[in-house]
Structure 1
Amino acid sequence: MTCPHAAPRGEHIVRDEGAQLDFSGDMSYGDYLQLDRILNAQKPLSPDHNELLFIVQHQTSELWMKLMLHELGAAVGAVARDQLQPAFKMLARVSKIMEQLVHAWDVLATMTPPEYSAIRPYLGHSSGFQSWQYRCIEFSLGNKNAAMLQPHAHRPDLLATVEAAWRAPGLYDEALRLLARRGIAVPASHLERDWTQPYTPDAAVEQAWLTVYRDPQRHWDLYQLGEELTDLEDAFRLWRFRHLTTVERVIGFKRGTGGTGGVSYLRRMLDTELFPELWALRTQL
């Protein structure tokens, strides 16, 4: 029996009276997203089947980091202008991006050691360690290290961008300056300092945050800011841990292609705290 409304055999078009089907003189989905450029940007160097996974994993991560930098930069500016509601939305989005990046490791973890070994000789010294976007994210979150400028010295344009992030106050710096503007005692050493230096925890800064956390109703937006920052670092820690376990699973304890110690380097990064007083104060509450 044939359904009277069935499409002719071989025809699977879902008909919609309002649908536009001819884009010969208009912008299409692929045009808007520049899909020709994006989908032709994967150029495997090895004959191995698994290299495409490795490339797509890292390219998509860089796209997410581009969005993360977009949101982080806007959030830092919003906090500096006391515009906390927009900042909260941006920081929540950054945390969600970090969750996306955490799950991306699940896909790369399907690459086995022999599969990675087949493509590793073709990578040369290229490494995620050299990602200028990732470095800008680290700098924006306060993990400053002048030595990390050197991998970008061969590209003056990128070096200028990374160096600007290195010299600028980070997200946490602006949060502390906001606390001070709200009349909460923050030591002068943490309000105007050399922003290129790593952040140093201070007991007086912990007391400043404790003022907020012991009376959240009075300081509700500052309390919410503290929790948004904690959410962000929580997600960032998960990303670092998942990075470590994936690398150990795929290459063991070999040195990284960029010259780092690989797993040993990533283990050290797990100990880096971005917003230390926000974690320390929990013991006092």
Structure 2
Amino acid sequence: MQDTQRIVAEEGAQLDFSRSMSYGDYLQLDRILNAQQPLSPAHDEMLFIVQHQTSELWMKLMLHELHAALGCIAEERMAPAFKMLARVSRIMEQLVSAWTVLATMTPPEYTAMRPYLAQSSGFQSAQYRCIEFMLGNKNAAMLKPHAHRPELLAMVEAAWQAPSLYDEALRLLARRGLPVPAGHLDRDWTQPYQASDEVEQAWLTVYRDPEHYWDLYQLGEKLTDLEDAFRLWRFRHVTTVERVIGFKRGTGGTGGVSYLRKMLDVVLFPELWRLRTDL
């Protein structure tokens, strides 16, 4: 007690926050820490809930950064865009690490709580779908899981209809005088991106003269970093699901592991990967 009183006196620390905003007030911890409401008697359901809630919080920050990065690229403010894209890649590292915690759940432990999930599934995450759409993996069928929530559907539709991060990057290349085909600059943004030899040649011009095109070269590498991290996230997801449930169907009706493995083949920024062979 005496040590505490001495520290308070010496450091000027406050212990009474009844008249001001405290740490818990600022972070709204009462709301956050009371948002875990297990439905089963299974001990491990708390892990499952916290894992997915924290992932959704990281995804919220990811969307915040991606929206800002898109705006910066459109305005050619590259320095803040690079910082934001680097942060998104680091967020993905956190999400990859989170799967290692969930992987401590064994098949019998998951089986004990699975009936209580009904049809709820990460497949239905509106934030994850927005991230996929913003990174260019457009698919109109992925709007349907959100049709019952108009506000969520509007959010996902907006990401589906807007130019992706890569679309904005190609627009920037074109503004800098690089020969990006017109069909890649003004197209139906709801459609999946189609790789182009002409786009690869534009990127090759950048990568063969990085000093002259330094910020575009940096942009290409930031996008590559981002997709690299996203691939690790997807891979860790599928291995965790296979470890916990094997090849059972997912609660949301997907094929589970078989569906997730197909997603591993999706390439978001194809020319940035292909050019490495041609350099």
> Is 1:121 aligned to 2:92, yes or no?
no
Give 1:172 shift. Answer: 0.1
2:195 & 2:187 partners in 1: Cα distance?
Answer: 13
Q: Provide, for residues 114-158 of structure 1, a one-character-per-residue CA deviation record: whole Å limited to 9, x for no partner.
A: 000000000000000000000000000000000000000000111
Partner of 1:215: 209
Structure 2: give runs of 5+ residues left out of the alignment: none
Query: Which entry has the higher C-alpha Rg, 1 or 2?
Result: 1
Structure 1: give runs of 5+ residues left out of the alignment: 1-6
Partner of 1:16: 8
2:34 & 2:145 partners in 1: Cα distance?
Answer: 27
Which structure shows the bigger proportion of residues in helix conformation? 2
> Is 1:36 aligned to 2:30, yes or no?
yes
Over 3 Å counting, the alpha-carbon distance change for 1:237 and 1:13 in structure 2 is farther
DSSP 3-state at the match of 2:8 = coil
> Is 1:102 aligned to 2:99, yes or no?
no
> Is 1:74 aligned to 2:56, yes or no?
no
Paired-residue identity, %: 79
1:200 & 1:170 partners in 2: Cα distance?
Answer: 13
DSSP 3-state at the match of 1:25 = coil
1:131 & 1:219 partners in 2: Cα distance?
Answer: 38
After superposition, where does 1:108-187 map in structure 2 within 5 Å?
108-187=102-181
2:54 & 2:275 partners in 1: Cα distance?
Answer: 36
> Is 1:226 aligned to 2:220, yes or no?
yes
Partner of 1:249: 243
1:14 & 1:73 partners in 2: Cα distance?
Answer: 48
- Ranges of 4+ aligned residues in structure 1 off by more than 4 Å: 11-14
2:28 & 2:6 partners in 1: Cα distance?
Answer: 26
AA matched with 1:143: N
Q: Provide, for residues 63-119 of structure 1, a one-character-per-residue CA deviation record: whole Å limited to 9, x for no partner.
A: 000000000000011101111111000000000000000000010000000000000
2:135 & 2:65 partners in 1: Cα distance?
Answer: 12
Give 1:13 shift. Answer: 6.8
TM-score normalised by L of structure 2: 0.98
> Is 1:201 aligned to 2:202, yes or no?
no
2:85 & 2:162 partners in 1: Cα distance?
Answer: 18
2:189 & 2:140 partners in 1: Cα distance?
Answer: 11
AA matched with 1:94: V
> What is the aligned-residue RMSD (CA, Å)?
1.0
Q: Provide, for residues 190-230 of structure 1, a one-character-per-residue CA deviation record: whole Å limited to 9, x for no partner.
A: 00000000000000000000000000000000000000000
Give 1:14 shift. Answer: 7.2
Give 1:12 shift. Answer: 6.2
Over 3 Å counting, the alpha-carbon distance change for 1:13 and 1:116 in structure 2 is farther
AA matched with 1:56: V
1:191 & 1:23 partners in 2: Cα distance?
Answer: 55
AA matched with 2:156: V
Partner of 1:3: none
Partner of 1:266: 260
1:153 & 1:79 partners in 2: Cα distance?
Answer: 31
After superposition, where does 1:50-61 map in structure 2 within 5 Å?
50-61=44-55
Q: 1:276 aligns with which of 267, 270, 275?
A: 270
Over 3 Å counting, the alpha-carbon distance change for 1:14 and 1:168 in structure 2 is farther
Over 3 Å counting, the alpha-carbon distance change for 1:115 and 1:208 in structure 2 is same
AA matched with 2:225: D
DSSP 3-state at the match of 1:225 = helix
Over 3 Å counting, the alpha-carbon distance change for 1:84 and 1:14 in structure 2 is farther
Give 1:16 shift. Answer: 3.1
AA matched with 2:269: F
Give 1:15 shift. Answer: 1.8
